[in-house]
Amino acid sequence: MILVLRALGVGDLATGVPALRALRRAFAPEPLVLAAPDWLAPLAELTGAVDELLPCAGLDDPLPVLCPAVAVNLHGKGPESHRLLRATGPARLLAFGGGGPRWRAEEHEVARWVRLLRWFCIEADPADLALERPPTGRPGVTIVHPGAKSGRRRWPAARFAGTARALAGAGHDVVVTGSAAEEPLARQVAGLAGLPAAAVLAGRTGLRELAALVAHARLLVSGDTGIAHLATAYGTPSVVLFGPVPPRLWGPPPDRPRHAALWPGGAAEPGDTPGPDPHPALLRIAVGDVLRAAERVAGAP
């Protein structure tokens, strides 16, 4: 058994796909078990690399003693994540520090895990980000996703609404997505944009249904959050608004013209103090900037 720890969220799992695929190739036919939150199971299945998901809600959630042939830390730099994996009794641990490479704070999340595996002579392709494409009953929508885990990464609702209104006026079938907790925000955006109540899909789509919606969408407009990584995985045209973390650390590959990462620069950097209000970097992005970027990515090959 190969045990991989990545007990995080949608974007974290999506950026770990190249590493997961590399591990699948390197250690086949050993089964690959992913320790991650159980709600990520549909996305883990879409990677095509995971045989089983072992529910793990975070580093405070102990794992059983499984004695895997290899345990791989795709979660962080340790030491907590290292201890969690060592407690499972692996014959070998692949991780940063110790016998592995040094951790680099200023490194793109995809490149980080590719570099880790290459240190251990496992070749991984950072461009191998695609997910399996599930069928959908509603193709061609334009998705506006105003939510994010941190208020610092949320562009103002009124600006999302202005964008949605303009896109709907240009003939886009606009829907507003989000988690169940983000439904009030989604309804606020839809109301300000003049969209019908049926356009609000927040809280009404499971993860597999959301992936299907993105896979067949016309366009995605969102902040730096998990759904943006689904657009990258499916090659769906996207406009992603960054702040406080710059796209050089979490953005789509810069050589893919279907994805625009809007980042006005300035003082916004990783580690910015959390807070409920949008980071100043986001406030420097105007509705017109987003609409021009949307037109550009929509026409990209």
- The pLDDT tens digits of the residues spanning 191-201 come to 999 999 999 99
The answer to whether residues 146 and 223 touch, using CB atoms and an 8 Å cutoff, is: yes
Given pLDDT bands bounded at 50, 70 and 90, which one contains residue 275?
low
**pLDDT beyond 90 at 36:** yes
Considering the entire predicted model, what is its pTM? 0.95
Per-residue pLDDT at 294: 98
> Count of CB atoms within 10 A of residue 194's CB?
12
Read off the tokens for 206: 């499971």
Given pLDDT bands bounded at 50, 70 and 90, which one contains residue 267?
very low
Per-residue pLDDT at 90: 98
Q: Position of tokens 């692949």?
A: 94
List, in order, residues 6 or more apart from 31 with CB less than 8 Å away.
Answer: 1, 2, 51, 52
Average pLDDT over residues 261-265: 89
Percent of the chain with pLDDT over 90: 91
Per-residue pLDDT at 98: 85
Given pLDDT bands bounded at 50, 70 and 90, which one contains residue 203?
very high
Per-residue pLDDT at 288: 97
Per-residue pLDDT at 71: 98
Q: Where in the chain is the domain with CATH 3.40.50.2000?
A: 2-119, 142-298
Average pLDDT over residues 98-102: 92
Average pLDDT over residues 231-258: 96
Per-residue pLDDT at 277: 85
Q: What's the CATH code, domain 2-119?
A: 3.40.50.2000
**Multiple choice CATH, 142-298, 3.40.640.10, 3.40.50.620, 3.30.70.80, 3.40.50.2000:** 3.40.50.2000
**pLDDT beyond 50 at 271:** no
User: What is the residue-averaged pLDDT of the chain?
Assistant: 95
Per-residue pLDDT at 143: 98
Q: Which residues of 144-176 are buried (b: 16+ CB within 10 A; e: fewer)?
A: bbbbbbbebbbbbbebbbbbbbbbbeeebebbb
Given pLDDT bands bounded at 50, 70 and 90, which one contains residue 274?
low
